Amino acid sequence: MRNDFKIIPFERKLINFFIDLNLEWLNEFFEVEPYDSKILNKSENVIINKGGYIFFGKQNGRIIGTFALIKRGEKSFELAKMAVKKYQRNNGYGNKMIQFAISFGKKNNWKEIFLYSSTKLKNSIHLYSKYGFKKVEIEKKSPYLRGNIKMKLLLQ
């Protein structure tokens, strides 16, 4: 991994990177669900305008990764839509993005960050566990059909 990787905040002109990176990832591992389409097609409305955040990972002037922190409660945020360009995976960028998300949450005095995933994604589950995310009970009506695991990190 190069040292010139940095995480930058949302800019409207970058929205297609958020959409394209997530579609690439979803189509590789699963399929695009209706809930995914809603978030991706109306991301500024359902994430940014409701108090959430979208960030981008930039390396050598190119956007290679993205993730969202969706506000779900007063101090509760969902880590969602994290994706890295296929040719850049396994280079530590996911680690950098999770470290940033946790640090950002702590700086903003959040209570927790949680996420939904699939046990099919063994590397992802390992990554989340490495940063202290613990498995918690998942709702009967999870927002994602593929989501069969929910993990939470308490920040306070």
pTM of the model: 0.93
**1 confidence band (pLDDT: 50, 70, 90):** very low
- Total domains in the fold of the chain: 1
What does the alpha-carbon distance between residue 63 and residue 131 come to, in Å, rounded to a whole number? 24
Is 1 among the domain residues? no
What does the alpha-carbon distance between residue 59 and residue 103 come to, in Å, rounded to a whole number? 20
pLDDT at 3: 63
Is 147 among the domain residues? yes
| Long-range CB contacts for residues 18-23, cutoff 8 Å, separation at least 24 | 18/43, 18/54, 18/56, 18/66, 18/68, 18/81, 19/43, 21/63, 21/65, 21/66, 21/83, 21/84, 21/85, 22/66, 22/81, 22/83
**Greater pLDDT, 80 or 87:** 80
Give which of 71, 136, 57 is closest to 108, Cα–Cα: 71
The answer to whether 44 and 27 are in contact (CB under 8 A) is no
- Chain centre to alpha carbon of residue 90: 16
Output the DSSP codes for 5-23: -EEEE--GGGHHHHHHHHH
Task: Provide mean pLDDT across the span 120-137.
Answer: 94
Is 62 among the domain residues? yes
The answer to whether 63 and 15 are in contact (CB under 8 A) is no
What range does the domain containing 74 cover? 6-154
Q: Could you read off the pLDDT of 38-52 as tens digits, one per residue?
A: 999 999 999 999 999
pLDDT at 4: 87
Q: Could you read off the pLDDT of 100-113 as tens digits, one per residue?
A: 999 999 999 999 99
pLDDT at 140: 85
The identity of residue 11, as a single letter, is E
Domain CATH number, residue 42? 3.40.630.30
Is 16 among the domain residues? yes
- Chain centre to alpha carbon of residue 140: 22
